[in-house]
Amino acid sequence: MSTSSSYDVAVIGAGVFGAWTALCLRRSGKSVILIDQYGPGNSRSSSGGESRIIRMGYGADSIYTRSAQQSLQRWLEFAELTKEPLFERTSVLWLARDDDPYSKASAKTLAEIGIPFERLSASELSSRYPQLALDQIEWALLEPDSGALLARRAVQSVVRQCIAEGVRYRQHCVTFPGDSNEIIEVTTVRGDKIAAGSFVFACGPWLPKLFPELLGNRIQPSRQEVFFFGLTSNAALHSKPALPIWVDFKDEAYGFPDLENRGVKIAIDRHGPPIDPDRDDRIVSSIGLAEVRRYVTKRLPGLKDAPVVETRVCQYENTSNGDFLIDRHPNHANVWLVGGGSGHGFKHGPTVGAYVTARLAGSDEGIEPRFSLSSKGTSHQREVF
């Protein structure tokens, strides 16, 4: 037998964007229900996994630098509120070639905004981080206050706080009716009706599945492989604080020091093949493993014989150029689409939640045209990293 309930806002998707949106909406006085089919931080979600980088460097893209700066402060305040360890201050190190315009632009943007950083020469790098082999690296930019968010733990903590502050949470899959200008309700797979004044769909790689005609060519989930290398006798060199998070932009790679005894995490930051978040297996490929081992041999030679102790397959769900999508559905006045964050978006959860809340309140202040649906193409050329 179906049941019915009504709220000011229904948020579908309890990943980092959806969870923070629900919390911000509730704090603005709205009655809110948060719905997720697999649960916050689940293994299929883009917000699952152990860790995400929170860094300020975005080249000349000051919009995301400022957002990351604001979000870090909000994450720190949230961690203090909940008394949970959600952030590891590891520092973030950008390895740069001599002709690295992205890192040079990042340094300029950080200086203009007033975010602390250091520029390290090759000799300073070699002295401070002897575990890093510096083939082709001429200098580096170090963000001393940046680090890692403990992703799964953080998302689950935000959802718990949502519930504590009065958000209703339900674990269900919903269907989208899509047959009128203003949507009155959505239906769960078991037949329950959930009515709301507004609906926010913040469901990551499921967005193009729910809205195939609108988003099928604008958001394309891709398969991403992550590897953890076990530490050996040189464990201290590859752990915090001796080793920071590093970003090797030209080699399309990034890595984390050992956090919580999981091993050194390394991944290639390049769009992989398409993935179905519901049906596809999460088993890494031999090709991916071989590429990461070559990278480890080149950049972290002390780990070249280290065993792979854990692997993970997650997904990105970038828009055509990497900008966020935060906009009203063109055919449904009370439906909002929030996504396109994978690859760089996790850190921005608090700022995205505040932005969505302002839009639903009718505020025009601070509207960012780059987040609009109309700015999203169907030819994928990533511009935001």
CATH number (domain holding residue 139)? 3.30.9.10
Asked whether residue 232 falls in the same domain as residue 370, the answer is no
Asked whether residue 244 falls in the same domain as residue 125, the answer is yes
| Domain end residue (candidates: 296, 315, 334) | 315
Query: Domains in the chain: how many in total?
Result: 2
Alpha-carbon distance of 176 to 212, in angstroms, equals: 12
**Per this entry, what is the length of the chain?**
385
Amino acid present at 322? G
Alpha-carbon distance of 53 to 384, in angstroms, equals: 15
- Eight-state DSSP code of residue 249: G
* Domain annotation covers residue 267: yes
Asked whether residue 188 falls in the same domain as residue 130, the answer is no
Question: Does residue 255 register a pLDDT over 50?
Answer: yes
Q: Can you give the pTM of this predicted structure?
A: 0.96
- pLDDT band at 385, cuts 50/70/90? confident
Adjacency order of strands within the sheet including 52-54: 52-54, 147-149, 87-88
* Domain annotation covers residue 118: yes
Question: Does residue 1 register a pLDDT over 50?
Answer: no
Asked whether residue 41 falls in the same domain as residue 175, the answer is yes
pLDDT per residue as tens digits for the range 213-247: 999 999 989 999 999 999 988 899 999 999 999 99
Alpha-carbon distance of 258 to 239, in angstroms, equals: 5
Asked whether residue 232 falls in the same domain as residue 311, the answer is yes
Cα end-to-end span (Å), the chain: 48
pLDDT per residue as tens digits for the range 60-73: 999 999 999 999 99
Alpha-carbon distance of 265 to 278, in angstroms, equals: 25
pLDDT per residue as tens digits for the range 333-383: 999 999 999 889 999 999 999 999 999 999 999 999 999 999 998 877 788
Asked whether residue 29 falls in the same domain as residue 130, the answer is no
Question: Does residue 80 register a pLDDT over 90?
Answer: yes
Percent of the chain with pLDDT over 70: 98
Asked whether residue 132 falls in the same domain as residue 195, the answer is no
| Domain end residue (candidates: 266, 285, 315) | 315
Asked whether residue 237 falls in the same domain as residue 277, the answer is yes
Domain residue limits at 335: 4-47+152-219+320-375
**Orientation of helix 62-82 relative to helix 151-164, angle to 10°:** 60
Contacts with 108 (C-beta within 8 Å, 6 or more apart), sequence order: 60
Amino acid present at 226? V
| Domain end residue (candidates: 289, 315, 341) | 315
Asked whether residue 270 falls in the same domain as residue 367, the answer is no
pLDDT per residue as tens digits for the range 314-331: 999 989 889 999 999 999
Alpha-carbon distance of 77 to 64, in angstroms, equals: 20
Helix extents (H) in 29-121: 62-82, 101-113
Asked whether residue 272 falls in the same domain as residue 140, the answer is yes
Bridge partner residues of 227 (DSSP): 266, 311
CATH number for the domain including 28?
Answer: 3.50.50.60
Asked whether residue 136 falls in the same domain as residue 230, the answer is yes
Rg (CA), the chain: 21
